[in-house]
Amino acid sequence: MRKIVHIAVREFLSTVLTRGFIIGVLVTPLMIAVMIILMPLLMNEQAPRIEGEIAVIDPSGEVHQGLADYLKPEAIAERRGALKEFASEQMQKMPGGAANEALAEPTLNALLGEVPNLDIVQRPADFDLESEKRLLTEEGPTEDRRLALIVVHEDAVQRQDGEENFGSYDFFVREKLDDRIVDEVRSGLRHAIVDARIRTTDLDRDYIEALTQVPRVRSTTVTEEGEKETNEVVNMLLPAGFMILLLVSVLTGGQYLLTTTIEEKSSRVVEVLLSAVSPMQLMTGKILGQMGVGLVILALYAGMGIVGLVSFALLGLVDLALLIYLLIFYVIAYFVLASMMAAIGAAVTEMREAQTLMTPVMVTLMIPWLLWLPITRNPNSIFATVTSFIPPINTFVMLLRMTSTSPPPTWQVWLCIAIGLISVWGALWFAAKVFRVGLLMFGKPPNFATLIKWVKMA
Amino acid sequence: MNDAIRLNGVTKTFGTKVAVNNLDLSIPMGALWGFIGPNGAGKTTTIRMIMSILFPDKGEIQVLGKASALEAKDRIGYLPEERGVYKKMKVGAFLKYMESLKRGSGKGSRRHVRQWLERVGLEDVEHKKCEELSKGMQQKVQFICAVIHEPELLILDEPFSGLDPINMLLLRELVLEQSRRGATIIFSTHVMSQAEQLCDHVVMIHDGDKVLDESLDGIRRRFDPRTILFEPLDNEADVSSLDELPWVEKVSRSEREFAISLVPDTDPGEAIRQVAAAVPTSRIELHRPTLEDVFVRIVTQSGDPSANELSQLRAGLREDAGREVSS
């Protein structure tokens, strides 16, 4: 037993203390964390206030006043206030509530920039288009610069006889004008023109607006326990998150196990080791050591996930029991995969030769990805139930089902675990035989038929 | 229970090839035995079976009184023929790890590692990575792996391959020291001369069969000297008179040297006197058979090999013969 511990400790340390591992596994999440911290800081950096003149040529004389009112700094500020209020209301409806709102405010501010100070000037109707346009290219003191030129068509407010559509306007802007100003002017014009049209036809604008409004309604999920608001995004993402966590941690440990086994075999250190320990001890120690590596990754990413959920006040979505099941499923899934990896690693002499034997293993591990959508959408279908009992994908499917909106009955979970444990035993038995025979076999890489022969031989 | 190793009718086949055929062997405690035979004879397979790394198809193996080496692994030191090191590991850490694996209980000790590295002249490599060592240095490190836990039984598979003469001497001295400490040592080699210098008893196998299992003294006595080698003073000397002598079976010549085969039961002393009397010689000696000669004589007893086959056979028993699997 002590020997197994020695092997496991060496295996763990020699993997975790390599530059590749530290960079690949630790630095990536660190970079994500840095991004999360730095992004708001970067976004807080606001663009300078925009100042300048917007010229309007308005033959009807009905539009420019509306536009000037719409683009007054106070009016812009007021609209933004309303937008923020709306956003914060929406955010509170989203899971996370208050935390989201706190995040939303600076984000919105950053997105909108400072309220621009725009001067709307009307130009005479007998204008010279070319000389007006030239002003858009001239440099000058910022507050006097012409930013845009708008030429409202004559039939923009009143249709010409026999025409079905109203006219519009031409819009000329200075080079590199902030797109937020362009949008602001455009919607101001839309507002002003519609307003003018309504005024000339004696309709009630507020009434028309009320007529066209149907608020968007969130769906409500009805369950046995009661009603709750449907949260489509989280419903889909939570199972995927759990499954990715399981898959990544299992694969990392398994991949390292394959690499170190091949290394030991090709560097011929393996027979030196076998002089001190039995093949079974060697394999057990190696599998346990890499299980530690997988657990480090699982803890790291799960921990980050939990920190993330806490900061969004979303922790309530995750049942703590789920984390315990995640751990159990990790152990089962890891042992099955690791056995295969140990067997493959022992059977071949080079990484290149391992690829052929790895393909079926990898394809099997892709299945949960393909099943993610159908199973989260319908977690208790016959298909989902059956696949959650078929090793080696049973743990992945069961985890998907358990994190979905309608978890499976407990007996199914335990049946899945029981089947998982049996599959662990079977995989270890197979791997132990292949491992023992394969370790000292050099030369032609074996195929699956050869592996079966070895199992019979051992 | 006086035997360190006992094999009873052990047979191992790989596919259609019989690697070891019905091998009986008993090696007493404290012995220094050579396990010899050309490449591919079945030495490594036998050793792997003794170490319980491979399992025999038939037969029984007892090691240090246990039914399997697995139960006595901590008391055995093994230097495999296919040996390697963890390339990225530091030498000191590697040896400490190996000692802790072998001692089963307790940890490896840095003091032991240092002492041993000093003894093989590698005191300054403790903190180097194994991959930075030369092949010969790695081999010494691996030898330390085999002996660092003071085993009762030491199995060395081709321990001298790839070593320069100085290190070979050093290693030979270390092996003899282990023997003086009381360890049972089995030493496998295809180089007959190495076994001859070191062992007191040899087991010879050829194509999976044991062809000899005898003490070196016994072998020398049994394969009594029946050849006299001599060089005449004068290269043109007439040696035809020798053919007339009654105890001469055959006279053959190679370059300057003549070899006279004696009729069985001839007194070699008397024969030498008579040759010296008949032809003035610069050098005359009674040729002692080497293990190589013994081996060649044993395996060619049945057939009548051509000269080419003979020289191939002999080449396989010398140091520069290629290893079975190049590493």
DSSP for A373-400 reads HHHHHSTTSHHHHHHTTSTTTHHHHHHH
Minimal C-alpha gap between A250 and chain B (Å): 25
| Same domain for A332 and A198 | no
| Same domain for A193 and A236 | no
| Same domain for B67 and B153 | yes
CB–CB of A419/A394 below 8 Å? yes
Listed in sequence order, the residues at least 6 apart from B198 whose beta carbon sits closer than 8 Å to its beta carbon are B32, B34, B172, B175, B176, B187
pLDDT at A179: 82
A256 CB neighbours in chain B (<8 A) are none
Would you say the C-alpha torsion A325, A328, A332, A333 has a positive or negative sign? positive
**Strands B76-79, B153-157: pairing kind:** parallel
Given a cut of 70, the residues of chain B with pLDDT beneath it are 1, 104-108, 224-225, 301-307, 319-327
Report yes or no on A396 lying in a domain. yes
Nearest CA in chain A to B47: A275
Listed in sequence order, the residues at least 6 apart from B33 whose beta carbon sits closer than 8 Å to its beta carbon are B27, B185, B186, B187, B199, B200, B201, B202, B203
Report yes or no on B321 lying in a domain. no
Contact B82 A277 (CB under 8 A): no
A8 CB neighbours in chain B (<8 A) are none
d(CA B52, CA A77) in angstroms, rounded, equals 85
Contact B51 A273 (CB under 8 A): no
pLDDT at A328: 92
pLDDT at A107: 65
- Of A197, A218, A239, the residue that ends a domain is A218
Contact A440 B54 (CB under 8 A): yes
| Same domain for B45 and B146 | yes
| Same domain for B152 and B181 | yes
Chain A and chain B share a number of CB contacts under 8 A equal to: 73
| Same domain for B201 and B263 | no
Q: How many domains does chain B have?
A: 2
| Same domain for B242 and B201 | no
Contact B85 A272 (CB under 8 A): yes
Q: Is B326 on the interface with A (CB under 8 A)?
A: no
pLDDT at B13: 86
Listed in sequence order, the residues at least 6 apart from A202 whose beta carbon sits closer than 8 Å to its beta carbon are none
Q: Which domain holds residue A267?
A: 230-457
pLDDT at B304: 59
Domain of residue B231, CATH code: 3.30.70.2070
| Same domain for A325 and A446 | yes
Write out the DSSP string of B248-262.
Answer: EEEEEEETTEEEEEE
| Same domain for A283 and A195 | no
Spacing of C-alpha A373 from chain mean position: 15
Minimal C-alpha gap between A317 and chain B (Å): 45
Other Cβ atoms closer than 10 A to A261: 29
Contact A272 B101 (CB under 8 A): no
Q: B 72-131 residues with CB below 8 A of A? A: 73-74, 76-80, 82-89, 97-98, 100-102, 104-105
pLDDT at A257: 92
Minimal C-alpha gap between A107 and chain B (Å): 49
Nearest CA in chain B to A285: B101
B87 CB neighbours in chain A (<8 A) are 263, 267
d(CA A406, CA A399) in angstroms, rounded, equals 12
d(CA B37, CA B40) in angstroms, rounded, equals 8
Contact B77 A271 (CB under 8 A): no
| Same domain for B106 and B77 | yes
Report pLDDT digits (tens) over A376-398.
888 888 888 898 888 888 888 88
pLDDT at A103: 59
Q: Is A444 on the interface with B (CB under 8 A)?
A: no
The pair of three-digit structure tokens given for residue B318, joined into one six-digit string: 């010398």
* Burial label, B76 (beta-carbon count in 10 A; 0-12, 13-18, 19+): buried
pLDDT at A4: 87
Q: Which domain holds residue B258?
A: 224-287
Backbone torsions φ then ψ of B118, nearest 5 degrees: -65, -40
d(CA B44, CA B155) in angstroms, rounded, equals 11
| Same domain for B120 and B243 | no
Contact B102 A440 (CB under 8 A): no
Task: For residue A268, give the nearest of B82, B89, B97 by CB distance.
Answer: B82
Q: Is B226 on the interface with A (CB under 8 A)?
A: no
Residue B22 identity (one-letter amino acid): N
pLDDT at A91: 65
Minimal C-alpha gap between A297 and chain B (Å): 23
Task: For residue B142, give the nearest of A10, A272, A279 by CB distance.
Answer: A272
Minimal C-alpha gap between A263 and chain B (Å): 8
| Same domain for A280 and A242 | yes
pLDDT at B322: 45
Would you say the C-alpha torsion A344, A346, A347, A351 has a positive or negative sign? positive
Listed in sequence order, the residues at least 6 apart from A80 whose beta carbon sits closer than 8 Å to its beta carbon are A108, A112, A115
Report yes or no on A38 lying in a domain. no
Task: For residue B80, give the nearest of A14, A275, A279 by CB distance.
Answer: A275
d(CA A161, CA A152) in angstroms, rounded, equals 18
Task: For residue B85, give the nearest of A3, A6, A269 by CB distance.
Answer: A269
Q: A 87-116 residues with CB below 8 A of B? A: none
A270 CB neighbours in chain B (<8 A) are 84
Q: A 244-283 residues with CB below 8 A of B? A: 263-264, 267-279
| Same domain for A298 and A166 | no
Contact B53 A274 (CB under 8 A): yes
d(CA A42, CA A25) in angstroms, rounded, equals 26
Other Cβ atoms closer than 10 A to A67: 26
Would you say the C-alpha torsion A8, A14, A17, A19 has a positive or negative sign? negative
Report yes or no on B67 lying in a domain. yes
| Same domain for A322 and A183 | no
The full length of chain A comes to: 458
Report pLDDT digits (tens) over A243-266.
888 888 998 899 999 999 998 888
- Of A218, A239, A268, the residue that ends a domain is A218
Report yes or no on A42 lying in a domain. no
| Same domain for B278 and B183 | no
Given a cut of 70, the residues of chain A with pLDDT beneath it are 40-48, 90-113, 221, 223-235, 312-317, 443-444, 457-458
Q: How many domains does chain A have?
A: 2
| Same domain for A270 and A203 | no
Minimal C-alpha gap between A350 and chain B (Å): 14
Report yes or no on A16 lying in a domain. no
pLDDT at A426: 92
CB–CB of B91/B120 below 8 Å? no
CB–CB of B117/B186 below 8 Å? no
Report yes or no on B310 lying in a domain. no
A17 CB neighbours in chain B (<8 A) are none
Give the three-state DSSP class for B151: coil
Contact B146 A278 (CB under 8 A): no
Q: A 200-229 residues with CB below 8 A of B? A: none
d(CA A48, CA A367) in angstroms, rounded, equals 52
Report yes or no on B90 lying in a domain. yes
Q: B 138-197 residues with CB below 8 A of A? A: 142, 145-146
Report yes or no on B319 lying in a domain. no
| Same domain for A112 and A60 | yes
Report yes or no on A3 lying in a domain. no
| Same domain for A181 and A260 | no
| Same domain for A154 and A249 | no
d(CA B186, CA B178) in angstroms, rounded, equals 11
Q: Which of B70, B101, B102, B107 to mutate to test the interface with A (most CBs of A within 10 A)?
A: B101
| Same domain for A84 and A160 | yes
Nearest CA in chain B to A458: B55
